Amino acid sequence: MTEPVEGKSAAADEIVRMQQQISHLQESLRIQQRVAYAAGLFQGEVTVRTLVSSLAEGLLIIDSDQRIILINHRLEEMFGYASGEMIGQFLQTLLPDRYAQVHGHHVNAYFQAPRIRSIGQGLELVGRRKDGAEFPVEVSLSYLDTETGRFSLAFITDVTQRRQAERALLEQNEALNTFAQTVAHDLVSSVTVLVGLSEYLTETYIDVPPPELQEYLATIARSGRKMSSIINELLLLASLRQDEVVLGPVEMVPIIETALFRLHEVIQTEHAEIIQSDGFPPVLGYAPWLEEVWFNYLSNALKYGGRPPRVEIGSTVADNGYVKFWVKDNGVGVSPDRQAQLFKAGQRLEQYRAKGHGLGLSIVQQIVRKLSGQVSLESTQGQGSVFGFSLLQVKTE
């Protein structure tokens, strides 16, 4: 008597299911054996266990299936996982999806021909934290052959701060090169004017009418002031790259008054209107540097504002504990594509109107950054611009 077809099918399905369960249990047992073996190798002795736990780098050990079988506490912190949470997970868990497949091939190739090596030198490797955030890492590889198979050891270092420092250094070097080229041109031009007019006056001053002589002397004075301004900004730039100053409470009113006094001649010549609001809250800063910030902002407002210039000076207290100081002009405004470039070295607001050395706004940004603040620009073409900077407010009793 034959068994019904339905009974045979059910029995076959049950056998397949049991085989799958057995296979899964065998795989789990194999992983557990490798984890236990690795743990025994590295945690059997108190000294070794302490050494592994205290490593500054993250330690990761995987088997030939690219499963994580041992990690140290530093690696768990680095990737944002709880203790033991990563054991048994695949290595790809720690990588962005776009790199997982390619990196998996590299790991397989390494297991076939392992050697001690350092990777990441000049190559940007990326890790992925539990929350999905990515960060640059540097990895040194080694291997260990054991009775349960070959293990790969990876020492992983978070190089986020190093990469940031390298980028900052590169930006500073690029800015310095730009400064040198721009300043060299302007200094040569100014010196040429000074020398040319001086020689002319020396040879012919007796025959030169007094009004014309006064004009030449005025030109010499303007060129000299320009050279002095460039040199002063270069000195300030050098101090920004080297000096660490002590920050303290700063009152803005006397600093603004000093900057306006330095611009008194320009204000009078251009018949500029200066509107200064009352009440500037004290902030954490350094007065000599802040004077240069105000001087550059006000100088630009006078130079590139309307005719006659109308300059407004004010401050706004933000909810985040910072105070935003600002200078508003009545110029033509700045196009959106130019706004992002203005605080870079060598850039000027209107290159067709006036040729300057273009150091000012770049120095402003460096000063404000050194003071843990931020610069800003709001501008609409045809409606003027508002240049600002924000610093931490100092609460008064």
Is the domain of 169 the same as that of 237? yes
In a domain, 294, yes or no: yes
19 or 154, higher pLDDT: 154
Helix (H) or strand (E) holding 273: strand 273-276
In a domain, 302, yes or no: yes
Is the domain of 311 the same as that of 260? yes
Is the domain of 187 the same as that of 133? no
State mean pLDDT over 133-146. 86
Is the domain of 50 the same as that of 99? yes
Distance CA 92, CA 65 (A): 11
Sign of the dihedral through C-alpha 366, 367, 372, 373 = negative
Given a contact cutoff of 8 angstroms between Cβ atoms, the answer to whether 387 and 327 are in contact is: yes
In a domain, 4, yes or no: no
- Residue 276: the pLDDT is 93
pLDDT in tens, 284-305: 999 988 998 999 899 989 988 8
pLDDT in tens, 319-345: 889 999 999 999 888 877 777 777 765
In a domain, 36, yes or no: yes
Decide which of 88, 123, 158 is a domain's last residue.
158
In a domain, 8, yes or no: no
CATH of the domain at 144: 3.30.450.20
Matching residue, tokens 């789990």: 28
Domain residue limits at 239 = 161-243
Count of structural domains within the chain: 3
349 or 302, higher pLDDT: 302
Is the domain of 263 the same as that of 367? yes
Is the domain of 325 the same as that of 293? yes
Closest C-alpha among 334, 331, 277, 335 to residue 308 = 331
Is the domain of 166 the same as that of 237? yes
How large a percentage of the chain has pLDDT more than 90? Answer: 22
State mean pLDDT over 174-184. 70
Distance CA 109, CA 141 (A): 13
Decide which of 115, 140, 158 is a domain's last residue.
158
Per-residue pLDDT at 103 exceeds 70: yes
CATH of the domain at 367: 3.30.565.10
pTM: 0.50
In a domain, 13, yes or no: no
Decide which of 126, 158, 190 is a domain's last residue.
158
In a domain, 76, yes or no: yes
State mean pLDDT over 76-105. 87
Is the domain of 364 the same as that of 327? yes
pLDDT in tens, 13-63: 655 565 565 555 555 555 555 555 555 555 554 444 555 566 678 888 888
In a domain, 3, yes or no: no
CATH of the domain at 186: 1.10.287.130
Alpha-carbon Rg for the chain in angstroms: 34
Q: What is the mean pLDDT of the chain?
A: 78
The model's confidence at residue 140, banded by pLDDT at 50, 70 and 90, is confident
Is the domain of 105 the same as that of 154? yes
Q: Inter-axis angle of helices 5-43 and 46-54, to 10 degrees?
A: 100
Is the domain of 26 the same as that of 101? yes
- Residue 177: the pLDDT is 65
Is the domain of 55 the same as that of 125? yes
Is the domain of 342 the same as that of 214? no
> What is the residue type of 124?
E
